[in-house]
A and B are shown apart, each in its own frame.
Chain A
Amino acid sequence: MSQTYVSPGPRSTVPSARSLTLRDAVYDTLLALHLISAAISFVTIVMFSAWAAGAPVTRGGFALSDAAWNLSGAGLLIFGVWLALYVDGYELWDGWILGALVLFAAVSVFGAQARTPVLAQLDAEAATERQVTMWHWLRTLALVGILVLMVWKPGA
């Protein structure tokens, strides 16, 4: 079944051509920054997947993974909420946006849990592979869940 819908554009009343261009530019920039933040989050996901598969954990890799996770988390939240406020017809309390925010919180908790044993492994080689894998895969599932909500936008 093909159901066509038109996602709302940036907030507007009766725009002039000039203001329309500016709004489009702001919308495009926010969307691009939001997407790039999401791409950066997968740096951490792939690195942890490699570690779970037995690849060597290095301090440089761990620092890069940490930096990517923090940067992407801030970018996803800031530009995502900004987009929700900026676009007509989207509200923060829409089901798919609320669902994404709840999953984002879960992703953050799982990410913190996944990080701890890897850091311990670096310090003392004490972590078990199973701990790393379980929290990491939970985080990955939740992150993919957010992507599903962003693409399908159920209820929008």
Chain B
Amino acid sequence: MSLLATIRPDDWDLALFLHVLAAFVMVGALVTAAAYLFAARRDGSLELTRAGFRSLLIAALPAFIAMRLSAQWLVSEEGLEDAELAWLDVGFITTDAGLLVLVGATVAAGLAVRRAEGVRGVALAAWLVTALIAVYAVVIWTMATKPA
């Protein structure tokens, strides 16, 4: 299992680099957004809500797109399009479902900024982002260990 995971033509390096870098930036952006949104929920601060919203819109979403596109590039380079691999399925299912959650959190935070409505939208966004962070921690473990 591990030996297979470390056999890699040099041609894949750029796609792997972009995939890992984008995934790391996305995790960092999600944690940053969660920190701002939970602080905004506690303080009722519109400035903190806006910072959380921007962390999602300007950092997390673009990083997600870069991570997902480079993942597809890697799969294509490795010829795994039709492969039935549990770790690959876990990666795609969680990221594709995660996009909906990420968009939902971004919209909730954006509406909270637009309406300056208080803590309800902020709390929803904060908890959605927290759930994403937990899921992506598991995904990173799965991508690294590649269980059969």
Contact = CB atoms under 8 A, between A and B. Distances in A.
Contacts of A50: 32, 51, 54-55, 59
B144 interface: yes
Nearest to A27: B2
A95 interface: no
9 contacts: A6-B3, A7-B6, A8-B6, A9-B3, A28-B146, A47-B31, A58-B36, A61-B35, A68-B31
Most chain B CB atoms below 10 A, which of A38, A46, A47 = A46
B6 A4 contact: no
A122 to B, nearest CB: 14
Interface residues of A, number: 42
B27 A32 contact: no
B102 interface: no
Contacts of A7: 6-8
Contact of A35 (B21, B36, B140): B140
B10 interface: yes
Interface string B48-90: 1001001100010000000000000000000000000000000
B28 A64 contact: no
B2 A9 contact: yes
B7 A4 contact: yes
Given A39-B24, A151-B17, A4 B9 contact: yes
B10 A2 contact: yes
Contact of B2 (A24, A49, A58, A151): A24
List 4 A-B pairs, minimum CB-CB distance, nearest first. Answer: A46-B28, A42-B28, A7-B6, A32-B144
B6 A43 contact: no
Given A32-B145, A151-B16, A47 B32 contact: yes
Given A3-B9, A46-B59, A147 B140 contact: no
Interface string B12-23: 010011001101
A112 interface: no
Given A46-B29, A56-B47, 20 more contacts: A2-B9, A2-B10, A2-B11, A4-B9, A4-B10, A6-B3, A7-B7, A7-B8, A28-B146, A32-B140, A36-B140, A38-B20, A44-B28, A46-B25, A46-B32, A55-B36, A58-B36, A144-B21, A148-B17, A151-B20
Contacts, number: 118
Interface of A: 1-10, 24, 27-29, 31-32, 35-36, 38-47, 49-50, 55-56, 58, 60-61, 64, 68, 144, 147-148, 151-152
B27 A151 contact: no
A39 B23 contact: yes
Contact residue range for chain B? Answer: 35 or more
B39 interface: yes
B141 interface: yes
